[in-house]
Structure 1
């Protein structure tokens, strides 16, 4: 009996203690000490953030540059003031929030911070001190602004040709500017560095030793992107991304709208239209690449030189893209999904710049000196995106692709297809 009494006494003791704890916690909650298991904020917005109108760069430095120094504004955001105003006007309705308890951030501030991030690749913490906006808030709206830019401008500035007439226009530009006929675009892939995604293992780990997503782009003769595939994991190769993309089956099945085969200038044999790429891609009748770089004879070196003149366009396009938007040269501290959004916005803005200001970055490009000598552009001194190479053996070239490459080799070494400087170009010393 004594044991039962003692157990009942202990039980009542713990019941009273539990009731006291509940009363104590309820009192703390009423006093505002914590809410929902977390300590309630002592202040909602830090005082120094509330003074952004007086000291933040958007309302002070940016407005001064816009009024007094267009050149410095262009250096600050990598775009003209008129371009910034156009983007703001068109994107503002998509990113403006309804007023709730507190006034929302204005659309101009969001666009300015996003453009500054794209132009510099600065961390969100650094931008927070520059613009006096909390870094966690910046991390939320930068991907949203990028997504709004893509939604607003995508159909206008990135339009993959779908008819033979549109592809012929692309091919004519390659013929006029780069002396390579029937070329409907240059194809290549690049790595965009990101931080390691959680629980991803080696999925995004590439052979160069960092984590990345892959940007595969098709570029026309004016350095504009006609098509892009963004977001493949970094462990993939150029060929692997290409084979899993929508472009490869469209080319293979003939649904992309390429023109029917036609004779080359001053020739009588029908030759198909094609894309040009590097060694990482498979050799097909619709995708031509140079001969392997060992044991080349004279005609093969001539063909490689002529083919590389057209293929170099995509290298330059990636170069001016990264020179303008240097966030692509940093390791993005975002998820792969947000990195994909940011990269898409960079491509959209790149094409928009090429439309509005086609000669703005031409001094950064590789160019010929008139004698076939390639003068490296300034973009090579800024930093380049890493190539996506295939470390394993790629698929074998088809018989049709090999036959087409041999035929083009003979054509460009004949009297009707040669250019005056090609002999000197293959014999000049390496730099």
Structure 2
């Protein structure tokens, strides 16, 4: 289980949990979950949404498996799919694609991760930790060569998922190299009880996306969101 930034670099990882544990147990037992609940993680201070005076929290982005909290935004359920909800879920999915790409890059470049690691649990944990560090180092080096595309050997643009000029989704090459079975979506984590404040903030973000300000910044969002939603229901 991991968190990454917009540059596909991992900023927190939890490695070495027992495979017999449920996903809910892994999340509830990890230090990061506890620290978030107890307010020990130094998140950036609240900030106004672009071109508004609407103050919102900085949050992580997760899928349906994670609880809705002020520090964690998850999509609306498929039972709530009005137009505004579809647009919100589309934007959340675009943001969450970053962590999928981060894992895809890691596994495609270090293929020891694409199968069972033949080592003791302690050694396997150290191997994965070392590969995460190397992954971050190589991406940092690549960022420093931003204006030299030929130097982008570790993560060329076509390796990761992206959208073309029409905002159609294009699979990254890592999906061909690893197979989609390598990465597993975690299952629903417990009851997913959400706080009233988190619900209010999610609704606020939903309304912002379909406001005049939001539409000006992403005039293509309806077409892309409905196309994505229709594919999900086919």
TM-score (structure 1 length as normaliser): 0.48
Contact 2:66 2:189 in 1 (8 A): no
Contact 1:282 1:396 in 2 (8 A): yes
Residue equivalent to 1:258:
43
**1:241–1:393: structure 2 CA closer, same or farther, 3 Å change rule?**
closer
Residue equivalent to 1:402:
199
Task: Give the distance between the partners of 1:254 and 1:396, measured in 2 at CA.
Answer: 18
Instruction: Determine helix, strand or coil for the equivalent of 2:127.
Output: helix
Task: Give the distance between the partners of 1:238 and 1:402, measured in 2 at CA.
Answer: 23
- Residue 332 of structure 1, CA deviation: 1.4
Contact 1:238 1:388 in 2 (8 A): no
Task: Give the distance between the partners of 1:229 and 1:397, measured in 2 at CA.
Answer: 24
Task: Give the distance between the partners of 2:185 and 2:222, measured in 1 at CA.
Answer: 31
- Residue 388 of structure 1, CA deviation: 4.6
**Higher RCO (C-alpha 8 Å, min separation 6):** 2
Residue equivalent to 2:175:
380
Contact 1:316 1:365 in 2 (8 A): yes
Residue equivalent to 1:390:
187
Instruction: Determine helix, strand or coil for the equivalent of 1:430.
Output: helix
CA RMSD of aligned residues (A): 1.8
Stretches of structure 1 that go unaligned for 5 or more consecutive residues are 1-215
Residue equivalent to 1:249:
34
The within-5 A match list for 1:213-228 is 216-228=1-13
Number of paired residues? 216
The within-5 A match list for 1:92-107 is none
The Cα offsets for residues 98-123 of structure 1, whole Å up to 9 and x where unpaired, read as xxxxxxxxxxxxxxxxxxxxxxxxxx
The within-5 A match list for 1:25-424 is 216-358=1-143, 359-360=152-153, 361=155, 362-383=157-178, 384=180, 385-390=182-187, 393-418=190-215, 419-424=218-223
1:427 aligns with 2:212: no
- Residue 269 of structure 1, CA deviation: 2.5
The Cα offsets for residues 130-158 of structure 1, whole Å up to 9 and x where unpaired, read as xxxxxxxxxxxxxxxxxxxxxxxxxxxxx
Instruction: Determine helix, strand or coil for the equivalent of 1:416.
Output: helix
Contact 1:280 1:394 in 2 (8 A): no
- Residue 392 of structure 1, CA deviation: 6.6
User: 4+ residue stretches of structure 1 with deviation over 6 A?
Assistant: none
Task: Give the distance between the partners of 1:316 and 1:302, measured in 2 at CA.
Answer: 22
Stretches of structure 2 that go unaligned for 5 or more consecutive residues are 144-151
- Residue 391 of structure 1, CA deviation: 5.5
